Structure 1
């Protein structure tokens, strides 16, 4: 665990240990290292899930045929890759440098897939498309 993250703080309200952190990038990079690997085919198959339950909810069909897409908190970029493989110009923005590096390594060969490592608010403030 990164040094800048205390192990836990006991909540006086709920009497449970809750992790605290001040370095958000380090927190998400730590998470990125613990996500299990999956094949690209499996990653694309499960890329768009609108609920936490596999097989529930709608799929990509709900999006119609967008020309562009922006995913906030794109993680390893699976949803961006799924969209790009359908000829959508898709951009994923994630705070974690490790997640962005993993996404670029895995999906940069797809035309239309782009990944930006940034704070979402800063990224949106600087965006040239509205």
Structure 2
């Protein structure tokens, strides 16, 4: 389980961008709050950050011609088997420094993600 550095989303191969969508869906659904060493930082912030990050993934999918379920664009939506969040995430304010949704997505994390992709045989920037 991993959230790729947001600056890499437009460069990810098909399998990784679709996998990222599945990860976001799982986290927004029953996976919210379930600890996992790679993504524990997500739970220290408002769920709005995850929704905002997922919006970036959804837009990238659309740019590639995919047609994700439109329900995922509703911030409160959590999937077919999970009740929606009751808060109004559309109006919630959240300070996002430097345009990065998660501060953990810094230069070091970007390099970590690139190294992870290389291990899979994926070279984004030859």
Scaled by the length of structure 2, what TM-score is found?
A: 0.26
Higher relative strand content:
1
Pick 1 or 2: higher relative contact order, CA cutoff 8 A, min separation 6: 2
Given the two structures, how large is their TM-score scaled by the length of structure 1? 0.25
Name the one with the larger helix percent.
2
Computing the radius of gyration from Cα coordinates, the structure with the larger value is: 1
